């Protein structure tokens, strides 16, 4: 696996691979902020399975952090990430410096309305503008045929999908399922900051989501009832949510009564970490 630091380098490497290939290459991009876990590796493996050239983007994007301490404390270990990415089948690791992505004078931001305004959008002002802008930039830098995202960040997927449609970006989106620890906790780079007690309490998020899913499968239509089920599960672990929302999976418009698939999404502070998780539920 080759490590590349600049846009010219990544474009040259991809152009070279395309030129050397007998047939058109399918190029896959896996956008990440590093500190790899099985969630990231599942995306890289999915890209390896369906693409000829797999590019992993590793960049802790400062513009999507609304909390300075979260950015400073974000776990980073490029050498370990490079080893794991190689083993998972990546061909190129594109790990630019901040100045390569946001050179002096940088002044453009992409703002997605609607789906980006609620939940994570309202609790983390500026977050999705940072995400949309950096994703648009990396899609332009790499020009992949397909980009791989995790369902763990369901609202991010909805925002990116909206932007790709609205801006006619020529890329397909592939969404891979959330990878969980054996006890249900969704894998996240920030989980390393949980102490053993927080780590144990954090399992209440997925327990609540799975209980709500089971209730919906048994015919519960009321979003309020689903929220109450999750609230109780969190309270039993001495946790309380920033939000628990039942929404349309693509628009993130609120749903009061289920009549088809819905997404239950939540954000919960656990010790020093703010965890998010979600699950699709259906009657
Ligand atoms: P991040 O490095 O946290 O920005 O995540 C990079 C990509 O990995 C995003 O598309 C995430 O949705 C995805 N991802 C993060 N955690 C998981 C997980 N537990 N399962 C599946 N995908 C994940």
Q: What is the pLDDT of residue 14?
A: 98
Whether the CB of 185 sits within 6 Å of ligand 1? no
Spacing, Cα 105 to ligand 1 middle (Å): 30
The pick from 37, 39, 147 for probing ligand 1's pocket by mutation, whose C-beta has the most ligand atoms within 8 angstroms, reads 39
The neighbouring-strand residues paired with 246 are 264
C-beta of 53 in contact with ligand 1 (< 6 A): no
Q: Answer yes or no: are the C-beta atoms of 64 and 121 closer than 8 Å.
A: no
DSSP, collapsed to helix, strand or coil, labels residue 90 as: coil
Q: What is the DSSP string of 125-186?
A: TTHHHHHHHHHHHHHHHH--SEEEEEGGGHHHHHHHHHHHHHTT---EEEEEPPPB-TTSPB
Q: Is 32 in the pocket of ligand 1 (CB under 6 A)?
A: yes
Instruction: For the chain, report the end-to-end CA distance as a whole number of angstroms.
Output: 45
In 3D space, the residue among 230, 7, 274 whose CA is nearest the CA of residue 138 turns out to be: 7
Report, as ranges of residue numbers, the positions in the chain whose pLDDT lies below 70: none
Residues belonging to the chain: 283
Tens of pLDDT, residue by residue over 41-74, are 999 999 999 999 999 999 999 999 999 999 999 9
pLDDT, tens only, 171-184: 999 999 999 999 99
- Is 193 considered catalytic here? no
Instruction: Give how far the C-alpha of residue 111 lies from the chain's centroid of Cα atoms, to the nearest Å.
Output: 18
| CA–CA distance, 283 with 281 (Å, rounded to integer) | 7
pLDDT of residue 120: 98
Taking CA atoms, 180 is separated from 8, 47, 102, 146, 188, in Å, by: 37, 19, 34, 24, 9
Of 146, 134, 148, 211, which Cα lies nearest the Cα of 177? 148
pTM: 0.97
The order of strands in the sheet holding 172-176 is 2-4, 92-94, 53-58, 27-32, 146-150, 172-176
């Amino acid at each position: 696996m080759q490590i590349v630091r600049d846009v010219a380098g990544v474009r040259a490497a991809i152009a070279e691979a395309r030129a050397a290939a007998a047939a058109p290459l399918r190029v896959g991009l896996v956008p990440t902020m590093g500190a790899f876990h099985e969630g990231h590796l599942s995306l890289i493996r999915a890209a390896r399975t369906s693409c000829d050239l797999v590019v992993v983007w590793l960049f802790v994007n400062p513009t999507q952090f609304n909390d300075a301490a979260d950015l400073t404390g974000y776990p980073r270990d490029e050498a370990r990430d490079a080893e794991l990415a190689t083993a998972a089948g990546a061909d190129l690791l594109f790990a630019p410096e901040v100045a390569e992505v946001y050179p002096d004078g940088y002044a453009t931001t992409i703002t997605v309305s609607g789906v980006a305004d609620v939940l994570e959008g309202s609790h983390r002002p500026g977050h999705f503008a940072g995400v949309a802008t950096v994703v648009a930039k990396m899609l332009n830098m790499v020009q992949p045929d397909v980009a791989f995202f995790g369902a763990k960040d369901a609202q991010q997927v909805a925002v990116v999908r909206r932007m790709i449609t609205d801006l006619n970006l020529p890329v397909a989106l592939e969404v891979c399922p959330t990878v969980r620890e054996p006890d249900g906790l969704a894998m996240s780079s920030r989980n390393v900051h949980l102490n053993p007690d927080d780590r144990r309490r954090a399992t209440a998020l997925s327990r609540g989501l799975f209980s709500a899913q089971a209730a919906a499968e048994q015919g519960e239509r009321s979003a309020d009832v689903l929220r109450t089920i999750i609230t109780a599960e969190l309270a039993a672990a001495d946790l309380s949510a920033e939000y628990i929302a039942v929404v349309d999976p693509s628009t993130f418009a609120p749903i009061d009564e289920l009549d088809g698939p819905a997404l239950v999404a939540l954000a919960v502070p656990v010790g020093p970490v703010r965890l998010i998780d979600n699950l699709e539920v259906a009657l």
